[in-house]
Amino acid sequence: MALLVTVLGLSIAAAAGASSVTQLILAFSLAWGLVELGLRTSLAPRLVGLARRERALLVLVAVVPALDVASRRDALADAEGWRELAPRWVDRARLARRVAIAPPLVVAGRAQTFFVRAEGAGTVRVGFEGEDAIEATSLGHGVFRVDATPRGVDRSREDITVTISVDGAVHDARLLHHAPVPHPRGIRVDDQHALCFVSEESGEVFYGVLGALRSMPVTGGPAACAVVGGAVWVAVRDEPSLVTIAAEGSVAARGPAIGRGAVAMASEGAKLAIARSGERRELVVLDALAGSELARARVEGVPLEVAFAGDRIVLTTRSPARLELRALDGALLASRDLVMPAAALAASPRAIAIATTAFDEAARDNLGNHFVEDQLVWLDPRTLAPTRVVPTARRTDRQDHAGDADRGLGPAALAFDDDARLYVAFVSSSELAVFSPDAPTRGVDLGDRFFGPSSVAIDGETVLAGSAIDGALVALDRRSLEVTAGARVAPTNAELLREAPRLLQVRLGERSFFEGTRAGASCHSCHLGGSTDGEAHNIGGRVLAPTLDVRGLAGTAPFLRDGSYPRLGDLHDVAVLEYRGYREPAGDRRATLEAYLASLPIPVSLADRDVVREQRGLDAFVRAGCAGCHAAPAFTTLARHPLRTIFPDHPGDAASSLDVPALRNLRGQEPYLHDGRARSLLEVLTTANAANRHGDTRALSEQDRADLVFFLETL
Amino acid sequence: VSAALTHTSGWLAMASLLASLGLSLAARGLSEHRARLVAFRRLAGLLGAAAALAHASLALVAVLGPASLEEASAIVGAVPYLRHGALALALLAVLALTSFPELNARLGLRTWSTLHRGVYVAAALAALHVLAGPSADPRLALAVTVVVGLLLLARLARRGSRASEEAREPQPPDDT
């Protein structure tokens, strides 16, 4: 009878195209019912006591429907959520340990904040391999915070041991280890041909001339540099003071204090303009040589880039996407809201140029399948009115002729020369192009030198271009665009393959992240440099969703807002399924993309610290029930919840789920929540939680909410 | 309190279900205590079904909250771990109802025993529910899944050995 039920059940399941457990159960229940019915009728003698040959025949008959059902195993696994079970279980089990630490990634030389959960513990000390233990700060409720800049271990090591001492009892944890290679960014040159550039990843500043570069370690994340008065001035993300390096010197010294969170710097003569996004978002103007502060002005959005346009300062921001023109005293002269934030900026007294993925206002209403339209926009330096718009991507060629050479993808750095020619580095390919006001556009493929030029600067008759991905630079003749010299600050692929294969995987994954797909978009198009553009996109014709920051994803499977991607490498499917895939094969992109994304650390919060207030905030966090889903140490349980159970007013279908996000790096990540309904963290706790099902925030007092926001901003 | 009750009732249902399966296995091995073990098995099964019902009711209130019944059923149908739980509950309810002597007699021993093999499907679904659900300790969830798997394997192994015995010497149908 079992054989009959099996054969019949498989046949029904195959005929009905069953691809879920429910359908399979129904098919087999129906089969069982039919066999039972048969047994109670005149068929009974034929159904019981089948001969061996008849049984064999039945088994043969079952082969075809069995194969048919088996062919739908992927659909079955998707429908039942089985693909994510294993990776999620691994990450959840790590977080469920009695003493758990997160994130599970140690980046050598990078300031990081770790959290430890050790319930009932009095003191916790954390020791990174080869280093003295650090005492963790207790925030209450068994949650401890550790601020550290681990030195790391040998570059070839893929993991590192961390010792967690809880009231004297020692627990070991193995964390991923990443020792980044230099990533040259933000080349700056003075009129004496002295250049500088920074590598935030490896914590270094490079300076000198292309043939004789020197490097200086600068802790705290060197974000930008400039050469002024024969010295190199470095703005550091995690430090409040600038760092100065005498051109011929080998010692870094503290410069003027501007506050933490520097993201960009520009120079004009002795003046330095620094955009920062620390405790406050500000534009700071200094006279470098006099050591005096000329101006300090608040900025509404998250600053991206800054440049001098003669006696004015141009600033780009995201959240909101905006272009601002300011006087040297910081006063706002003009501003222009952008559809998408500027990915690059250049300015001269004669023109301002930005690179963006959408400029036309009509794109704002594009609720269809959003696609990226890389373009350059020239604007009047007095009024910010656009004077020229040039789409750079050649979309049709790519779509119709798979494998054709691509041009104009991912403009990531811009520089004007004295003749108003605009030099553009396209990070999503290997191209450097020159846009002239009165001559055809010219381009040069730097593919034999490196992939993904991400910075460009003009040095007299020479153009300097660098690739952060490949850690290399070239000098080109400004007229002929012929390469005249090159330099490398990071190991070659061959060297990495020999010494640290994992780092080669990371590099290749980084390339995939920035590389343009056939549809013209790259991951970088929206996740600017691994961060976010602060906008909402409609991918695959679904609802608009704010772009997520992709830093700090390691150990938080599954991924995407709905948790539909079990592994980081599955994000490769976005490129393949939504954006037509890559033009050229490049090994196992899934694996390399996963290696790259897993190597990106969570930036340290630059919010003010106040342990007592943080403790009050965490207490409010627990009282409101937030910790039920956003549990320490990762501030997520990695669970998936039906969206409507948390936000009953969600307009999507009932099947929508929400993967509980890790509450890290929240500051400056507005808009918040799955649909961007909250413009601030306070709104998350108030107006965006009208049903009071996203935590019992109604029970909190105003002071509780303020403390809770304060705490969240420190994560 | 509501969340704690939901979790407790859920784990009680799972524990009872495992106990029921374990007792079933034990009853086959310990024939001298068979009657008593079968009685306990029935009690464990009924307790499991009752606890599962309580768990589902509490979860419906605590998790789905003010959602209408129509919307709640749409959510349960759409989310895999809720769907697995609901299917397991439906199976357990059928098994609980048919465990009473009146229905037992009307169904006939063979139909009843075939139907009650569905408890393994219910246990597998419950394990999936726990494994993919948002709240259970992942290590405990894995342990439960392994135990369910082992019990299922033991059942299949026994069935395999019985089939080979039957092939040698035909016997009357099993009563379990």
DSSP A689: G
- Chain A, residues 601-630, CB within 8 A of chain B, namely 628-629
> Higher-confidence residue: B68 or A272?
A272
Q: Under an 8 A CB cutoff, do B81 and A81 touch?
A: yes
φ, ψ for residue A56, nearest 5 deg: -60, -40
Q: How far apart are CA B109 and CA B129, in angstroms?
A: 30
The 3 state secondary structure assigned to A497-514 is: HHHCHHHHHHHHHHHHHH
pLDDT of residue A42: 64
Q: Under an 8 A CB cutoff, do A79 and B80 touch?
A: yes
Residue of A nearest to B87 (CA): A22
> Which regions in chain A score pLDDT beneath 70?
1, 42-50, 247-251, 363-371, 394-406, 539-543, 654
B169 pLDDT band, cuts 50/70/90, is low
pLDDT of residue B167: 61
Q: Under an 8 A CB cutoff, do B75 and A96 touch?
A: no
Q: Under an 8 A CB cutoff, do A21 and B64 touch?
A: no
pLDDT of residue A75: 84
Residue A58, number of CB atoms within 10 A of its CB: 15
Q: How would you label B43-69 residue by residue, b for 16+ Cβ within 10 Å and e otherwise?
A: ebbbbbbbbbbbbbebbbeebbeebee
A693 touches chain B (CB under 8 A): yes
Kindly report, residue by residue over A553-574, the tens digit of the pLDDT: 999 988 888 888 888 888 888 8
Q: How far apart are CA A369 and CA A538, in angstroms?
A: 6
Give the closest-approach CA distance of B150 to chain A in angstroms.
19
Contact residues on chain A for B78, CB-CB shorter than 8 A: 642, 653-655
Give the closest-approach CA distance of B169 to chain A in angstroms.
13
- Chain A, residues 80-139, CB within 8 A of chain B, namely 80-81, 85, 89, 92-93, 96
Average predicted confidence (pLDDT) for chain B: 81
Give the closest-approach CA distance of A204 to chain B in angstroms.
42
Half-sphere exposure of A221 (CA within 13 A, CB side): 21
ipTM of the predicted structure? 0.78
A640 touches chain B (CB under 8 A): yes
Q: Which residue, A274, A196, A202, A193, is CA-closest to A466?
A: A196
Q: Under an 8 A CB cutoff, do A85 and B135 touch?
A: no
**Cα torsion through A524, A529, A534, A536, rounded to 10:** 20
Contact residues on chain A for B133, CB-CB shorter than 8 A: 639
Q: Judging by DSSP bridges, how do beta strands A212-217 and A222-228 pair with one another?
A: unpaired
For residue A645, give the nearest of B75, B77, B84 by CB distance.
B75
pLDDT of residue A701: 92
| Mean pLDDT value of segment B65-85 | 80
pLDDT of residue A1: 67
Q: Under an 8 A CB cutoff, do B87 and A645 touch?
A: no
Q: How far apart are CA A138 and CA B4, in angstroms?
A: 27
Kindly report, residue by residue over B45-66, the tens digit of the pLDDT: 889 889 999 998 888 887 776 6
